[in-house]
Structure 1
Amino acid sequence: MPDHLEPETMMREISDLEGRIGELRQAAGMPAPDLRATLDAALVELELALSALRTIGTGRPGAAGHSASAETERRVLRTVFQDAPVPLFLLDRDTSVRRVNRQAATLLGTSPGYVSGKQFTAFCDLATRAALRSQLAAVVRTGRRRRVAVRFMGRDRPIDATVTLARVWIRGEPDPMVVAVAGAAGSPVTREAGEAAADGTRREPTARQHAAREHAVQEAPAAPPPDGQAPDVREPARPPSGRLSAVPRPAASHADDDQAVATIVHRMDVLANASELLLDEPVFNETVAVRRCARLLAAELADWAIIDLVGANGSTPQAAQAAAQAAQNARSWQASGQDDPAAADPAGALSRQVVMGPEDDRSVEATQALEELAPDPGTLPYTVFTTRQSALRPHVEELDLLGVGADGQPVCGTIGATSVLCVPVEDGDRCLGTITLAGSGEHGPFDLLDLAVAQRLGRYLALVIRAARLYRRRAEVADTLQASLLPKRLPEIPGVDLGARYMTATHGAEVGGDFYDAFRTRDGWGLVLGDVCGKGEDAAAVTATARHGARLVSRWRSGPGEVLSAVNEALMEEDRFVTAIMAELEPAGERVRISLGTAGHPPAVVVRADGVIRTASRGGVPLGLFDDFEAGLDFLDLGPGDTLFLHSDGVLEACDLARQEFGQERLLETLAGTAGRPVQDMLDAVQAALLDFCDGDLRDDVSMLALRVLPQSLA
């Protein structure tokens, strides 16, 4: 192409210049930037701008002078390109790779066909990309050869090289092309040491590096160094992935094959660890599972792990805010009589759940920014979620692949990601979200083996999330139903202080069978506490019958014995039995006379004001078993400060790790120790003793009801 710039060409040059200047600014703000290379590139851009200004209005030189030179260069390329002993890249004007020779493919650890068509800068680290683009533009514009220090993202580890850029003209091509010749540079260790010395920091090996080193040492024999060279003492890179690689690579040596086996073993370990971490919960917990999965992936497979989910439980502020906003929008559209456009958007509720990355200060800031960044349309997570198709980008060409931050900078540039993969989180029926992994290329790009592991983990996580959400919905239904079986609040009974406590079993999401109630009777007040055999919806129906039956019958029958007999008749049609205890209160001056009726239930406990403990008599059979029911009856006389304590068998049968029961003696000791304290303190003490004894693991529901006679001055 002639050096004269037409108006259309000038506009294109200006647009390209603006883009390259923006990349230089971003490169200067990256961690450990190569400021010298960036400065040189900026000076090159100034020279290009000056050269472009000088061409405005000048005459167009003839093309004859180019034809002989172009033909000569074309013959040379045809002869030596493929068999040249050095890596060669033939680049278009826009820096995309037209062709590479075998040496260049070997340098990158891939095949010539994979490299062709991709941006040349996609195979370089982010710190050198902006400067390289400027130098390429200068070569195309001026024709002067340039040498640039480049760090290629090789298949197994970064490779430092010096690239010589030269412009060539090829007949039939409207634009000039660039030949890039890669030569050896200093050792990556030397470069890393120099960078560490420059910024005063040293990058510690990640868990992923330690895993690679461990497997490489255990599985792969050490290869002898070439003659005359010192052994390579660099940090062992991630083992290659063998024939499963998404990036085709040349034939491997025996050492490479051994390392490939080590890589497969490592991935199997990751899957095994994931299974253990996700399932090691007595009760499925979505938030715990998601964070465990992200932490494992960030430690073993990637530098960054991002998990986005739809229909989350609102455990994060972002999820709660998104759900609230979606609900508000839906109500607004409904009020206007129009269809909500978000209803047709399958990813409208996709929200960021967790971001895991390195723990240095800069990465912590990036993590916080990413947590606030939604997976908007156009980003890779959004696309993978809507299409339910996994995506693998071994070499990132578009830095806004994961979106753009609030500061206007592409996310990939902010976190230094040169390789990205994203998989859907599917449970077989629907897509629940996505898992995104990003790497800096220090261990090579992601491959098909990494993708397969991430897909399997996505499946594992989806199943755990589905189970957790089903469990949570059942627990919510159970809680709602359980609340309907207990009084919302206890009545205020003159002359006594009344308190109750209910604790659900630690395991399971079914409705418990315990119940208690306090209500007016025909002659005063009544208390009832019972336990239905079994759990679940069927048990809940029996619980409701027993509780409300006792409350209703007490309005027209006197005495616990008669009330319990009537309830027994109502329960004879049920297939479950009920143990219960009922008390009727009869005020007698400063004292209260208690009539007790027991139906196969643990006896009531009386705690005297001076700490003396007495238990009522046992008796009766459970309700709902026999037609000829007869309750066990007893009568108690309570004075000021005395307490009547009713409880279910869940108190006595709570077990410790040795399967030893809490028992009645421990209960009586706890009650005696709180004889002079308020009723709520007494209930708190029993609850604390129970939870401490069983280490918080209640195997059955627990219900307690306590009544204390108040002195006349407090009544």
Structure 2
Amino acid sequence: MAEADDFGAELTEFRNRVAELRATRALPGGIRTANLDAALFELQYVSDVLWPRYEQLAASARRAAGPADQREQQVLRAVFQRLPLPVLLLDRDGVVSRLNFAASQLFGLRAGYAAGRSITASLAHEERAAFRGQVAAVARHEGSRSLSVELMRGIAGGDQGPVRLWVTLTAVRPPGHRRTSVLAVCQPAGGPGHIGSADEPEAPPRPGPDPGEVSSHVALMDLLDDMAATLLDEGNAPDSPLLRAARLLHGRFADWVLADRAAPGGGPLRRVAVLAPDEGPGAEHAAAIAARDPAEAPLIGEAARAGGQALRVRPEDPYALGEAEDGVPLLALTEASSLLCVPLALPSGAVLGVLTLLRVGGRPAFELAEASAAERMSRHVALALRAS
């Protein structure tokens, strides 16, 4: 404490001397050589004396409080991870800073994947704006609050129906953070598809390889084989190769299939097919989606220009596929939980069209292996289009 007082006194004296030097600029004759020498001396004093003293004081403070603080932080981290309720630490925009194990299980997100992403992407589209507003208000120190939110279909509840949560928000300032964060604690709101309570027994881990992964791999191989046969067998299916491919993927690989074809000579895209689910969310909006111009869809336009594939799990931007005539985002109309936008590119790099695949409800999101298979099929479709 005495060292800190001495350092503060020296710093005060230094500031007084600097103020006197600044005052000499107003004297007749301007700045004199003696004053310049004094200013250089004061700068050297800061570099050689004051700054090293500050570093010594900071190091002493860290050594004095370091071990205890580290132990306390380790305890707090362990408590945070072992809390039975899902808990997330958010910034004022709803972006996840960290989440505990229960939250990663609830939202189906790994901690490393969730960090830096907005948690609102896991909520139903109509809930997102209100949730962002409440988080921002709490971060502005306008008081803690609770609200009810609905998760996107397919998260936590499977096919049992919508899942609602009570989310309690409160402002916190974690150690080392320069800005206020928001602590979000989630609790089941009851009703169909509610989250299981802590009293329900957990399923024991399955030893050995996951049969689901093996089955998924076999299904992808079968799909690739069927796609090749569909594109080669023109006699039994005289339609465009793009339409034949879309029909094969519809239902089997994706709930929604949007097929867009480039005009001859590299012209703009035009929508040639929209295959919607036979029933369920968004099926009645197929005609509205088919009537929209693909050029108004940022994600499709980017795939056509850059020739790169886009995989979105719980897409955050509801306008990624454009909007309907009344301004409603098309992605919200489909209630898609994941999407895959695949350009139909030739080996030369020319893009002949774009396939957009959407999954909804309790269906698992697109995985990297499925995205890789879709890219291979898109090359086959592009070659078949060129040949036709």
Fold shared by both chains (TM-score > 0.5): yes
Separation in structure 1 between the aligned mates of residue 358 and residue 292 of structure 2, nearest angstrom: 16
Equivalent residue letter for 1:304: W
Query: Alpha carbon RMSD of aligned pairs, Å?
Result: 3.7
CA contact (8 A) 2:90 2:181 kept: yes
Q: Which amino acid in 1 is paired with 2:370?
A: D
Equivalent AA in structure 2 for residue 391 of structure 1 = A
Q: Which residue of 1 aligns with 2:64?
A: none
Alpha-carbon distance change, 132 to 253 in structure 1, aligned in 2, over 3 angstroms: farther
**Which residue of the partner structure matches residue 177 of structure 1?**
181
2:145 counterpart residue number? 145
Alignment of 1:308 with 2:227, yes or no, is no
In structure 2, what is the equivalent of residue 437 of structure 1? 357
Which stretches in structure 1 are left out of the alignment for 5+ residues? 1-70, 192-225, 233-250, 313-342, 469-715
Q: 1:451 corresponds to which residue?
A: 371
Shift of 1:130: 3.7
The structure-2 alpha-carbon separation of the partners of 1:98 and 1:145, relative to structure 1 and needing over 3 Å to count, comes to same
Question: Is there any run of 5+ residues in structure 2 with no aligned partner, and where?
Answer: 1-68
Is 1:276 the counterpart of 2:196? The answer is no
Number of residue-to-residue matches in the alignment = 311
CA distance in 2, matches of 1:431, 1:262: 33
* Pairing of 1:441-480 with structure 2 (within 5 A): 441-468=361-388
How much has 1:278 moved relative to structure 2?
2.7
Structure 1 Cα separation of the partners of residues 102 and 194 of structure 2: 24
**Could you state the TM-score of these two structures normalised by the residue count of structure 1?**
0.39
Q: What is the aligned partner in structure 1 of residue 98 from structure 2? A: 99
> Are 1:135 and 1:148, in contact at CA under 8 Å, matched by a contact in 2?
no
Residue 444 of structure 1 and its aligned partner are, at CA, apart by 2.9
Give how far 1:448 is off. 0.7
**Partner AA of 1:145 in structure 2:** R
TM-score by length of 2: 0.68
Q: Does the Cα contact within 8 Å between 1:286 and 1:464 map onto a contact in 2?
A: no
Distance 1:187 1:260, change over 3 A: farther
| Alignment match of 1:164 (pick from 162, 165, 168) | 168
Task: Deviation per CA, 1:167-203: give whole Å up to 9, x if none.
Answer: 2234665643211123345475479xxxxxxxxxxxx
Shift of 1:376: 1.8
Cα separation, 2, equivalents of 1:181 and 1:442: 24
CA distance in 2, matches of 1:426, 1:452: 14
Larger radius of gyration: 1
AA aligned to 1:457 is M
What SS does the aligned partner of 2:151 have? strand
Match of 2:242 among 290, 304, 313: 290
1:465 CA displacement: 1.2
Take 1:294 and 1:175, find their aligned partners in 2: how far apart are those partners? Answer: 49
Over the matched positions of the two proteins, sequence identity in percent amounts to 33
Partner of 2:319: 400
Assess if the C-alpha contact under 8 Å between 1:156 and 1:444 holds in 2.
Answer: no
Equivalent in the alignment of 1:680: none
Residue 122 (structure 1) shift: 0.7
Following superposition, the deviation at residue 449 of structure 1 comes to 2.0
For residues 119-140 of structure 1, the C-alpha deviation after alignment (integer angstroms, 9 at most, x for no partner) is: 1111223343344334434544
1:123 equivalent in structure 2? 122
Amino acid at match of 2:170: A
Partner of 2:375, secondary structure, is helix
Name the CA shift for 1:456/1:190 in 2 (closer, same or farther; >3 Å): same
The residue type paired with residue 132 of structure 1 is F
What's 1:264 paired with?
A: 217
Q: Is the 8 A contact 1:284 1:464 kept in 2?
A: no
- Aligned residue number for residue 303 of structure 2: 384
Asked if the contact 2:296/2:321 (under 8 Å) is kept, the reply is no
SS in 2 for 1:381: helix
Whether the 8 Å contact between 2:297 and 2:319 is mirrored in structure 1 is no
Contact 1:139 1:146 in 2 (8 A): no
Q: CA deviation at 1:463?
A: 2.0
Structure 1 SS opposite 2:319: coil
Q: Secondary structure at the match of 2:250?
A: helix
Matched residue SS, 2:294: coil
What's the secondary structure of 1:442's corresponding residue? coil
The 3 A distance-change label for structure 1 pair 362 and 261 is closer
